[in-house]
Amino acid sequence: MKARIFPPTSAHLRRLAQVLRRGGLVAIPTETVYGLAAPALDAKACRAIFRAKGRPANDPLIVHVLDLAHAEQLAEFNAVARRVVRRFWPGPLTIVLPRKACVPDIVTSGGDTVALRAPAHPLAREMLELAGVPLAAPSANPFSYISPTSAAHVQQGLGNRIGHILDGGECPIGVESTVLDLTNPNRPRILRPGAISAAQLTKVLKTKVTTVRRAAKAGARQIAPGLLAKHYSPRTPLSLSARPGQPTPDKAVIFLRQPAGPQVAGAYWLSRRGALPDIARNLYRVLREADAGGHRQIVIERLPPTADGLATAINDRLRRACA
């Protein structure tokens, strides 16, 4: 049976919260991408996330909480971590800290740390409140495929594996959260770039925040999700180019901004004028459209390698999608 998409009525929210409390799976919207949620302290429910996604057990889950007080029940906080979450939560920032014993091994892939985030999306927050438990929620898609930014994307990818999808419209940011490793508060590291930049974090923390550029080794236990060389990938071969050229019968081209002149078959674009928030918000939707277009290859225009902030996150996702 195909998963049902539930409009966000009060009755549906209560029903879906009950599904979660009983250990079921519910795809929920966040401001970044849709997540496949289950009670984070229920090891059996979390194992169901891995099965539904086809996710390897060495890739840990992000745990979603309402606020700092709830997060401190799950991890050992330091002063730096408190400072950063008071500034950026709720929002698209995940922090990695030493876990407490209550967090199941399946959530952390057997590691000593846990990844935590307080989402800003009102429906994600309402589900957390109604369920009354922290929620593990990786992206609601088959493992390594393009992340979902709408309920329809979730249904296309996981519709035969889960039963419940909460419709929150399109995700306003469109790329996954920044992951910040704070296990050593004197050496904060961005493991995965996102909408919150290294410059923003450096300004708040008053110390340099570095970004880890190398991909994690396949098969090794990861400290956080989204670190593998290949991720967020369409099934059609994808490549990056500063000058992607024009579409051909076999080649689709994704431009950063809408090309001038009449629309050409095989041409896609991420924004009208090249605005970064529009590019990020539309990235996964347009990749999916091109992937479904029957092309033999897709070429996407790259952002300048020196770009910072949200552009860093977009370039990161595209590098992994092309791997």
| 22 φ/ψ angles, rounded to the nearest 5 degrees | -85, 0
C-alpha to C-alpha distance for 2 and 27, rounded to whole angstroms? 13
**Residue 169 domain-assigned (yes or no):** yes
C-alpha to C-alpha distance for 234 and 34, rounded to whole angstroms? 17
**Residue 216 domain-assigned (yes or no):** no
Among 192, 209, 168, 247, CA closest to 59:
192
Q: Assign residue 187 the CATH number of its domain.
A: 3.90.870.10
Among 124, 135, 113, CA closest to 179:
113
**Residue 223 domain-assigned (yes or no):** no
**Residue 133 domain-assigned (yes or no):** yes
Same domain for 34 and 114, yes or no, is: yes
Same domain for 164 and 250, yes or no, is: no
**Residue 232 domain-assigned (yes or no):** no
Q: If you compute the radius of gyration of the chain from its CA atoms, what whole number of angstroms results?
A: 19
Contact 106, 82 (CB under 8 A): no
End position of a domain, from candidates 176, 195, 211: 211
**Residue 220 domain-assigned (yes or no):** no
How many CB atoms neighbour CB 297 within 10 A? 14
Question: Which amino acid belongs to residue 54?
Answer: G
Alpha carbon 84 to its chain centroid, in Å, reads: 20
pLDDT of residue 261: 78
Same domain for 116 and 191, yes or no, is: yes
Same domain for 303 and 260, yes or no, is: yes
Same domain for 243 and 205, yes or no, is: no
Query: Could you tell me which residues come within 8 angstroms of residue 139 by beta carbon, excluding any fewer than 6 positions away?
Result: 33, 34, 35, 36, 147, 148, 176
End position of a domain, from candidates 176, 211, 246: 211
C-alpha to C-alpha distance for 223 and 181, rounded to whole angstroms? 9
Same domain for 166 and 280, yes or no, is: no
pLDDT of residue 309: 80
pLDDT of residue 307: 64
pLDDT of residue 69: 98
pLDDT of residue 2: 85
End position of a domain, from candidates 194, 211, 228: 211
Tell me how many domains the chain contains: 2
Same domain for 167 and 278, yes or no, is: no
Tell me which residues of the chain have a pLDDT lower than 50: none
Same domain for 153 and 259, yes or no, is: no
Same domain for 112 and 182, yes or no, is: yes
Q: Helix, strand, or coil here: 11?
A: helix
**Residue 226 domain-assigned (yes or no):** no
Same domain for 205 and 254, yes or no, is: no
Same domain for 280 and 198, yes or no, is: no
Query: Could you tell me which residues come within 8 angstroms of residue 251 by beta carbon, excluding any fewer than 6 positions away?
Result: 245, 266, 295, 296, 297, 298, 299
**Residue 224 domain-assigned (yes or no):** no
The three-point CA angle 100-106-111 to 5° equals: 55
Where in the sequence is the domain holding 59, given as residue range(s)?
4-211
Same domain for 262 and 177, yes or no, is: no
Quickly list H helices, the chain.
Answer: 10-21, 43-53, 68-71, 79-88, 105-108, 122-131, 151-158, 198-205, 276-291, 310-322
pTM: 0.96
C-alpha to C-alpha distance for 8 and 61, rounded to whole angstroms? 25
